[in-house]
Amino acid sequence: MMDKHYSVCPYCGTGCSFILHVDNDRIVKVEGNKDSPVNKGMLCVKGSTVNEFIQHPDRLRKPLIKRDGKFVEVEWDEAIKYIAKNFKRILDEYEPRSFSILNSARCTNEENFLMYELASKVLMTQNIDQCARLCHMPSGIAYSKMFGIGAMSTSYQNLEKSKVIMICGANPAEQHPIIFNWIMSAKRKGAKIIVIDPRRSSTARQADIYVPIEEGKDDAFFIALCKYLIQNGTVDWKMLERCEDYEFFLEELKPLGDVKELCEYCNVDEKYVKEICGLITKGPTTFINGLGLTESAGCVTNVELVGCLALLTGNIGKEGAGVAPLRGQNNVQGATDMQTMYYRKLKFDRKTKACYLDKIFDRSLSSTEMVEAALNGQVKCMYIMGENIAMSHPNASMTIDALKNLDFLVVQDIFMTETAEFAHVVLPGASFAEKTGTFTNAERRVQLVHEAIKPIGKPDWEIICLIAKAMGNKKDFNYKHPKQIFENMKNHIDLYSGLSYDAIDKNYGIQFPCFKIKEGSQSFCNEDILYRSFFYRKSGKALFPTVSIYPPSMKANRYFPFRLITAGVLAQYQTGTMTRRCKTLNKIISEPFVGVNAEDAKEMGINTGDMLEISAPNGQSIRAKAKISDEVKRKYIFMPVNFREARVNMLTSEKLIDISKTPEYKGAIVNVKKV
Residues near ligand SF4 (CB under 6 A) are 9, 11-12, 14-16, 43-44, 46-47, 176-178
Q: How far is the CB of 11 from ligand SF4 (least distance, A)?
A: 4
Which CB atom, from 176 or from 516, has the smaller least distance to ligand SF4? 176
Hey, which bits of 465-571 come out as E strands? 510-511, 515-516, 522-523, 542-543, 562-567
Q: How far is the CB of 571 from ligand SF4 (least distance, A)?
A: 10
Which CB atom, from 180 or from 536, has the smaller least distance to ligand SF4? 180
Q: How far is the CB of 207 from ligand SF4 (least distance, A)?
A: 20
- C-alpha torsion sign, points 640, 9, 529, 112: negative
Which CB atom, from 169 or from 177, has the smaller least distance to ligand SF4? 177
User: Which one-letter DSSP state was computed for residue 659?
Assistant: T
Q: How far is the CB of 47 from ligand SF4 (least distance, A)?
A: 2
Which CB atom, from 562 or from 573, has the smaller least distance to ligand SF4? 573
Instruction: Report d(CA 605, CA 596) in Å as an integer.
Output: 11
Which CB atom, from 177 or from 552, has the smaller least distance to ligand SF4? 177
Hey, which bits of 242-353 come out as E strands? 243-244, 285-289, 322-325, 344-349
Q: How far is the CB of 33 from ligand SF4 (least distance, A)?
A: 11
Kindly list the distances between the CA atom of residue 168 and the CA atoms of 291, 597, 672, in Å, as whole numbers in the listed order.
9, 22, 27
Q: Which residue is nearest to ligand SF4 (CB)?
A: 47
Which spans in 55-108 are helix H?
76-93
CB 675 within 8 A of CB 612: yes
Which spans in 170-270 are helix H?
172-175, 177-188, 218-231, 237-240, 246-253, 259-265
Q: How many CB atoms lie within 10 A of CB 540?
A: 18
Q: How far is the CB of 506 from ligand SF4 (least distance, A)?
A: 22
- Long-range contacts of 467-471, Cβ-Cβ distance < 8 Å, separation of 24 or more: 467/80, 467/83, 467/84, 467/87, 467/118, 467/122, 468/117, 468/118, 468/121, 468/122, 470/80, 470/81, 470/83, 470/84, 471/84, 471/87, 471/88, 471/122, 471/123
Instruction: Report d(CA 366, CA 127) in Å as an integer.
Output: 7
Q: How far is the CB of 36 from ligand SF4 (least distance, A)?
A: 10
Which CB atom, from 44 or from 423, has the smaller least distance to ligand SF4? 44
Which CB atom, from 176 or from 445, has the smaller least distance to ligand SF4? 176
Which CB atom, from 176 or from 217, has the smaller least distance to ligand SF4? 176
Which CB atom, from 11 or from 210, has the smaller least distance to ligand SF4? 11
Q: How far is the CB of 43 from ligand SF4 (least distance, A)?
A: 4
Instruction: Report d(CA 97, CA 482) in Å as an integer.
Output: 29
Kindly list the distances between the CA atom of residue 435 and the CA atoms of 152, 462, 608, in Å, as whole numbers in the listed order.
27, 10, 45
Q: How far is the CB of 187 from ligand SF4 (least distance, A)?
A: 18
Q: How far is the CB of 38 from ligand SF4 (least distance, A)?
A: 8
Kindly list the distances between the CA atom of residue 37 and the CA atoms of 18, 155, 495, 515, 616, in Å, as whole numbers in the listed order.
12, 9, 21, 21, 45
Kindly list the distances between the CA atom of residue 129 and the CA atoms of 87, 137, 639, in Å, as whole numbers in the listed order.
18, 11, 27
Q: How far is the CB of 488 from ligand SF4 (least distance, A)?
A: 28
Which CB atom, from 116 or from 182, has the smaller least distance to ligand SF4? 182
Which CB atom, from 327 or from 380, has the smaller least distance to ligand SF4? 327
Q: How far is the CB of 14 from ligand SF4 (least distance, A)?
A: 4
In this structure, which amino acid lies at residue 237? Answer: W
Q: How far is the CB of 46 from ligand SF4 (least distance, A)?
A: 4
Which spans in 107-206 are helix H?
109-121, 137-147, 156-159, 172-175, 177-188
The SS3 assignment for 55 reads coil
- 584-605 exposure pattern, b = at least 16 Cβ within 10 A, e = fewer: ebbeebeebbbbbbeebbeeee
Which CB atom, from 44 or from 211, has the smaller least distance to ligand SF4? 44
Which CB atom, from 47 or from 498, has the smaller least distance to ligand SF4? 47
